[in-house]
Structures are given as structure tokens and as C-alpha cells.
Structure 1
């Protein structure tokens, strides 16, 4: 039998402590999510509604097929910065007229939907996801362009937004712009470079320069409607392909455009799959509040894969890394999950072989992170940990099957790279509320800096200030701890969102469905030189 057997004592005090710690962290994440949902706040939302307009999230909801999920991406972008949480943009994956689409909606309650540096990063990440997974892009546009207070960080890299739209179109990935309000200055190129454009009568305004700029540049007097209104673009310039009478009509027209795309997935959706044999709610019980305490990743696997059925690969070799085959919502999946935190040579070689096998079989890979990195020390260096760790990183780097990454615990050092961290282009990367990621743990990093400073003082023959050292170590530990937490990392778009552990199976299922919009093909050779 390959059905996993759980050893969790869900009624015991240990699981209760784990659950309490996770729920406490989850509460902090939910509070930050509430900030993103609030957008510009009650005052500006009320002003927006008084103009007879729908909010960004209402537009998304009406665009989607009824009773279908919406996987929001990067909802905590800009957290901890001077800008509003969410970065004045809603992005995510949802089903429109039966087609999985990447949806992007400006939030005009936040500075008129103006783009700041985090908005740009969030938009570029959304385009990256659309391109890799061949998802049609529907943009719900209402933006005054760039937030000029941050223009130095937006102007130069911002051109990539328009480049992305043209390259998506060139790759046969449809792009649709639904313009509800302003789309001015550089923002005018969003509808200008989209395959399909819907504009709302009396509301949509698309022009490179508004009336004040035209007056200053040419001396010409022009009102907004004649300069760039929906009626003009539908009758004169030809920019508007569809002329909508109101917002609801615009969304209806957008749904019809998607329905007529003739967009087909290269694979049939899998048959209905049996759920796990253990409750998703028990995922709150698995990970300790103190990540230095080990836990068995099979307890997570048993609660996310179909029928809790898992064929383990090399279970007796490199036991610090659990690898094996499963299905999730009917999709085949290879799983690599850190079991003991540290990656040794055996784990690294096991991972490299497993990744090659997944590529040979065209099977996507899921990486469940809980690692402190690769093992250090004289015996391990002499045993080849550098070349074996490099072998694993080589395999991850050159693998061609889709990768999904989920940080469930620690993800430190080069172990983060070997487990397909953000820099290794996973199709999607999410975190649990208790996860942490940094170059190393706070205590270790502070200790290294202390040892270096102590050695420098000895080399110069100076006495070492122990009191100052203790203060420095404490400050460094606090800083590294704060910068390793999910809110900080998600705010900088180092993941695609922090999810409730209980939603893990659903989130991964949506991701697997999305990646199957593009061909799933592994590397056939092409891994470069493996140092043996």
C-alpha cells in the first residue's frame, strides 16, 4: 500500500500548540490582506461609488464565471513600504467564459489607480505568469498613469509593461483591455498595444497628453471627451473595438470576447479525483511554531494529494529529503520535501536524479521548503558537499517541467536555491504564515558578524568591546528576523502570496490547472556537466 499513514496526535497538546502558533501568525496575515482589500479606504471608496463606478474587486467578480474561484496573486505587494498594501492593483487567475485567464485590475481608489514602483513589479510578475502558462490577459483599466513622485523608479523599467503586451500577442496569447476611466500618458499604450479594446461611454479616456499638456505643448484647446473619449475612439481613431454603454455592459462584452477566442488547453482536464484521507484543517497542526523543531513533511503530503497516495522514491537513502510521486486534483506530480532541515550529499544527489526522472516523464514538480541549507564542516567539504549541492542546483536550473514552490518552514541559504526559490523561476511560489527565508538564521548571521569583528580586533591588537558586541548581535538578530518573515518577503514580491495552510490543496490545484494551458515538456538532456 502506498497510502500514507498519519502519526499526528491531533488531539494532543503538541498539535494544539502548533495550531495556536499558526493561527496567531495567520491573524497577522489576514490583517494585512484586509488592508489590501480596503484599497484607498472608506473616503475614496465612497467617492468612487458616488460617481456610479464599481470597485476593482467588484469588476473582477462580475467578469468571472459564477461560483468559480479566483486565485489572487501578490496581494501584499508594497507591505512595509510608503505605498498602500496591494500596490493599487489586483491581479490573479480566474475563469472567464470557461477559459482560465490572468486578470489585472487597477484600483482607482488608491491615488486614482496611479502606478508606483511596486505596482510595476506586480504587473510584470503577472505578465510573467501569463507568458509562462499561456494564459489570456484581461486588463480592467482605470489609471492616471505613473505616480510622478516615484517616476525615477518607474519610467525606465516601466517600458517593459508595453513590451510584454506586444510579446504576449506575438506568442499567440490574447490580450484584452477594458477601459473604465482614465488610461492616460504612458498608460494609453495599454489599450494601444492590446489585441482587443473595450471602452465605456462617457467614462473611458485614452490620450497621450491631456488638455493641459496639449495646451502647453501646442496652444490647442481641447476637452477630454473630444481628445480621448470612448465615442471619439469608437467613431474616429478606431482604437475602441467595442463601445460599452456602462461598466456592466463592458464586462459582458469582455466575457464575449474571451468566449470567442477559440482558446483551447493542450490537455483535457483530469477526471474527478478522490480527496485526501485526512482533513485539510489538520494542516494547522503540522508545523511547530519554532522552526528549529523538526517535523515530518509526509504529514503535509498526506493532506494535499489525492487519496493520500504517495509512491516514495529512495525512502532509505538521503532521508533528509522526501521525494516521490502523487496526483493532486488528478494531475501527476513529483514532490521534493525537506524532512530534517539540512541537505547532505546524499539528499542532493537523490534530488538531482529525481528531477531528471520528472523531466523524462514530463511531470511537474512541487518543492516543499523546510531547509537550513547545505551541510557545512570539514568532513562534509571533504565528502564533496559543494559539488553535490551544485548538482542539485544544476538539475533545478535546467529542468524544463513546471515547478511549484511552497515555503512551509525555513528556507535558508543555498538550500533555498536548491529547492527552487524565486531566482530559479518557479511557475508559482507561495508561503505559509510561519515560513522564514534569509541567507541564514538570525542567530547564525549575528554570530558570524561577531566572530569576524572579534578576529579583526585581535589582528589589530585591540581589546574587544563585549558590551557593544552584545548590542550589535541583538540588533542584527532583530533585523534579520524581521526581514525573513512572510509579510516582508511577500511585500517585496519574493513570493506570489501567503496562503492559509488549509487552502493549500486548492491553491496548488488551480496552479496545476493553469500550467497545463502550456505544453508540459521536460528537458531531454541539456543539464550541463554534473560534477561526480
Structure 2
């Protein structure tokens, strides 16, 4: 492979301006992440500690191997809603006893760990990641079940949580539940359906209905310990496989369970013998690559040069369809195919090039990375006559039916069907992250407002009515503001349309962790089977 040569001038005013804008966005992001870290707030965290209990994130930290990374997923879940940022659930991928695991932990400082709509969506996404990548799943449970005021949004779709646990087990993917406190109603089924269950003496309470509900339903005066205490489940019901003395002992036991799984990566050979070499250029410079104005193009090779091993990149079809850069590299020793937008717009040539490249990656069993900065497929008479619909459809067909794992990172714009062709959320990338500079919507705010304005202007003319220019200007401004706010990464991340908004400087590490997780499962591409490509 040949190493990329940078043309980025880190001493220029342009670079300084881009860097300052990115740092400003990162400061805003840090403020929002702090809300998730705060859980239910100082008052409820202190109350939790006074009861001799550890906060959710400290439980996760004690579970993981010392000095190993934790790739947190969807920390902004619920952002912009009426619910606490974070979805009252911590979720992520970490190493336990040398094994990469998907870990979730209820945050009992937020309404007792009860599940609201964002908890549910986040937990379902975590289960999906565990299933696709064959990651053992560890649930640190302390939940009062559904958040009753929002039960209409939780109860019916919530059944998928229990379905997922049993499907993981059926697929041979281990599931472990560690119960720290109340695990009531729906929360009781998590240990009930897990392969391994650990409870804490005199702390864990697992029952379908607590004493108040039992009294209401049957008239029985039930004692909490007899009804669902850890001792009872360890000696009488048999639900508890292990009885821990305290929280620390429960986490030690969970580590021992994982250590005894005899778990191996299915595709560790993908990087066998690889010598991992750092990029030639500092990751710090990624702060100054993307312009604040996304209409200004930038060269994605400057991103590759700071992501891939030794900055080495073999470009595929470099002189054909140049607004889409495609090629081969390695990242932390793992082979990788990369597709990245260069000039924003996708033409017929770029779409055909992408389809061929995706087929090649599937023949070679190589995962694909999509770096988004696209305004979509080109429009206009010349391009429609040239077949942009069928060629764009060819690219989307290839993305849809590709079987190798996909990773997506939104670094700039991701608009229209270009978002689909570049493997947006609806196309099930294994992981999707966004930089703070990213924006995603059906089209740009100005374009969308302009289209609405033209439609209303034509409608008024067709009806012979005068057009209210003042009202039109007000409507355009309102629409632009709304679309702008709804296309920002924190808004989209709050709705789990990505797996997190990340610092550009962390991109190589995040992608390396994802690639490692991906190779826990077999990596095999499609052999044919792409449907009909319209030629």
C-alpha cells in the first residue's frame, strides 16, 4: 500500500477557524454528556449511596477488566424529550475476564431504574448489537419495571426485550443477569430468562408482583424476603444460581462466570500476524478538517490519513466517479474497505463505482466503512436522462444486500437518499456514529424551505390568488430553523438514530473497538445474491 500525503495546513487561519468551531461543538456535547453522567441528580445519587449501593457506572467499572476501554453506546438517549438524558440505562461494550461483552446497567437513581420509552429503545438496540456481533450479554439489574405513566409506550413493544434474551440464548450467546436491588414485574423476567443469575444477599428482590400488588390481587400479606428475596431464590425457587454477599462480590462472581464460558472470537484470524502501525499524522488534526459550513467541500483522504494504519490507503478507481473515494486499508490490523464522499453530490458514476466496490468487499469478506458527507444524488434533466434513478438504486441495492459488516460515521452532511446509499441507520450498519459537525435530514434547511415556498407560490398562481411574500418569508425562516434544529447530531442521537456522537480524535479508537467486536462473529460476504441491478 502507498501512504497518503497530507495537504492540510495546520498553521493556516482556515484550519484554526474549523478547529475552533469543532471545539465549540465538543464543549456543548460535553455539557449534554454530563447530564447523562449525573443520572437522577446529586440528591438521588447520594440517597442511593447512603443505602450502601454503588451507582450504575461504578458497577460497570468494577465489572470490567482494569485499564480496558468501555465503548459507551447512546449516552444521549432521550435528549430533548421529557425524560432524563441517557434513558436511565448505561449500555456499552467492554472487556470482562478477557472477553468482549455487551453490558447494560439500570440507573436506579432515575425513578428507581424504571423503563421509559427511551430505556426500551436503548435496551433493544443493545440486544441487537449483542446478537449481530455474538457478544455475551451482561445485565446489571435494578429496575422497578415499566415507568407506569408511560406504560402505553412501553408495555406492548417491551415484550421484545424478553424475546431478545431468549433468542440470544438460543443462538448460543451467553446471557448473565446480576441483580442488585428490586427487579419487579417486567424487570423480573430479565433474570428469569438469562442463562446465569447472580443475586445479592438481603438486597436483591425479584418478583412479578411486589407486596402491594399481591395484597391488591389476592388479599395476601406477603413479606418481601419470602416473596422474592435473594435467599429464597437461592434455596427455594432456584432462580438464583449464585448468592453474593455484597455488590462487589456479585461483580466478582459475574467475572468468574464469564471466565468459565470458554468463549472465543470466531474470526480472530482476520488480523493474525498484523503489525499495527499508528497513522503518520496526529489525530488532533481531525479537529480542523471539516468546514463549519458544510457546503464547502473537503478531501476525505485527510480523514483516512489520520485513521488508518500507517496512513496507507490503496484507492480503487481514483479517476472514475471522483466525488466518491473508495479503497482498501487496515485499521488496528483489521482489513477494511472505505467509501467516503468527496464533493457531496453522488452522480451515476459514483453510484456504479460504489456498487462494484461493495461487491468486491463481499467477495473478499472485508468489512466496509462509510464516511458520510453527501447532499444526495444529483438531480436535473441531464442526470435523469443519464439514469441517476437506476444507478442510485443500484448503489442502494448493493448496500441493502451486502452481507459484510458495515460501519458508518457521519462526519458532515448526510442528506436525502445519499444517506441511504451511504448506509444510514435504516440499512442496519453494525455501528453508526456521528461527529459534532454532522447534519442529517431529507435535504438541507434552505432547500427544503425553498421547495415548500415554490409549491405554495405555484398553488397560489394556479388559483389566481395573490402570493403573500411577507408570510412566505416568515414561513421559510420557521421551516429553516426547525429543519436545522432537527438535523443536528444531538437531536438525532437523542432518538437513537446513531450509537453516539463522538470526538473526531476518538474515531480511530472507536472504530478499532467496533472492528474487534465485529470479529467475535464470523465475517462472510454475499456470494452473488444482490438482486437485480438495472443496467
Matched, 1:498 2:501: yes
What residue in structure 2 maps to residue 294 of structure 1? 297
Matched, 1:313 2:313: no
What residue in structure 1 maps to residue 330 of structure 2? 327
Alignment of 1:160-179 (within 5 A): 160-179=160-179
The one-character-per-residue Cα deviations of 1:464-487 (angstroms, maximum 9, x if unpaired) are 000000000000000000000000
What residue in structure 2 maps to residue 430 of structure 1? 433
What residue in structure 1 maps to residue 378 of structure 2? 375
What residue in structure 2 maps to residue 63 of structure 1? 63
Counterpart CA distance in 2 for 1:155 and 1:98 is 36
Matched, 1:365 2:365: no
Counterpart CA distance in 2 for 1:471 and 1:224 is 61
3-state DSSP of counterpart to 2:366:
coil
Matched, 1:18 2:11: no
What residue in structure 1 maps to residue 86 of structure 2? 86
3-state DSSP of counterpart to 1:386:
helix
Alignment of 1:343-492 (within 5 A): 343-492=346-495
3-state DSSP of counterpart to 1:203:
coil
Kindly indicate whether the alpha-carbon contact (under 8 Å) linking 2:268 and 2:520 is maintained by their aligned counterparts in 1: no
Counterpart CA distance in 2 for 1:440 and 1:132 is 31
What residue in structure 2 maps to residue 98 of structure 1? 98
CA shift, 1:187, in A, is 1.1
3-state DSSP of counterpart to 1:93:
strand
CA shift, 1:186, in A, is 1.3
What residue in structure 1 maps to residue 237 of structure 2? 237
Counterpart CA distance in 1 for 2:41 and 2:50 is 14
The one-character-per-residue Cα deviations of 1:102-125 (angstroms, maximum 9, x if unpaired) are 000000000110100000000000
3-state DSSP of counterpart to 2:293:
coil
What residue in structure 2 maps to residue 196 of structure 1? 196
What residue in structure 1 maps to residue 181 of structure 2? 181
What residue in structure 2 maps to residue 220 of structure 1? 220
CA shift, 1:2, in A, is 1.2
- Deviating more after overlay: 218-227 vs 436-445: 218-227
The one of 509, 517, 528 equivalent to 2:520 is 517
The one-character-per-residue Cα deviations of 1:171-190 (angstroms, maximum 9, x if unpaired) are 00000000000110111100
What residue in structure 2 maps to residue 3 of structure 1? 3
The one-character-per-residue Cα deviations of 1:250-272 (angstroms, maximum 9, x if unpaired) are 00000000000111101336344
Counterpart CA distance in 1 for 2:328 and 2:275 is 18
Kindly indicate whether the alpha-carbon contact (under 8 Å) linking 2:432 and 2:499 is maintained by their aligned counterparts in 1: yes
Counterpart CA distance in 2 for 1:216 and 1:35 is 38
Counterpart CA distance in 2 for 1:179 and 1:259 is 19
What residue in structure 1 maps to residue 110 of structure 2? 110
Counterpart CA distance in 1 for 2:106 and 2:266 is 31
Counterpart CA distance in 1 for 2:503 and 2:213 is 48
Counterpart CA distance in 2 for 1:106 and 1:462 is 59
3-state DSSP of counterpart to 1:340:
coil
3-state DSSP of counterpart to 2:327:
strand
Counterpart CA distance in 1 for 2:394 and 2:52 is 59
The one of 292, 304, 309 equivalent to 2:307 is 304
Counterpart CA distance in 2 for 1:90 and 1:272 is 34
Counterpart CA distance in 1 for 2:460 and 2:503 is 48
Counterpart CA distance in 2 for 1:140 and 1:266 is 26
3-state DSSP of counterpart to 2:268:
coil
3-state DSSP of counterpart to 2:93:
strand
Residue correspondences, number: 532
Counterpart CA distance in 2 for 1:325 and 1:216 is 64
Counterpart CA distance in 2 for 1:381 and 1:20 is 40
Counterpart CA distance in 1 for 2:223 and 2:472 is 66
The one-character-per-residue Cα deviations of 1:165-218 (angstroms, maximum 9, x if unpaired) are 000000000000000001101111000000000000111000001101111111
Counterpart CA distance in 2 for 1:425 and 1:528 is 18
Counterpart CA distance in 2 for 1:84 and 1:216 is 31
Counterpart CA distance in 2 for 1:393 and 1:41 is 45
The one-character-per-residue Cα deviations of 1:45-74 (angstroms, maximum 9, x if unpaired) are 000000000000000000000000000000
Counterpart CA distance in 2 for 1:215 and 1:318 is 71
CA shift, 1:301, in A, is 0.3
Q: RMSD value over aligned CA atoms?
A: 0.6
What residue in structure 1 maps to residue 257 of structure 2? 257
Counterpart CA distance in 2 for 1:281 and 1:150 is 43
Counterpart CA distance in 1 for 2:217 and 2:46 is 36
What residue in structure 1 maps to residue 532 of structure 2? 529
| TM-score, normalised via structure 2 length | 0.99
- Deviating more after overlay: 182-191 vs 409-418: 182-191
| TM-score, normalised via structure 1 length | 1.00
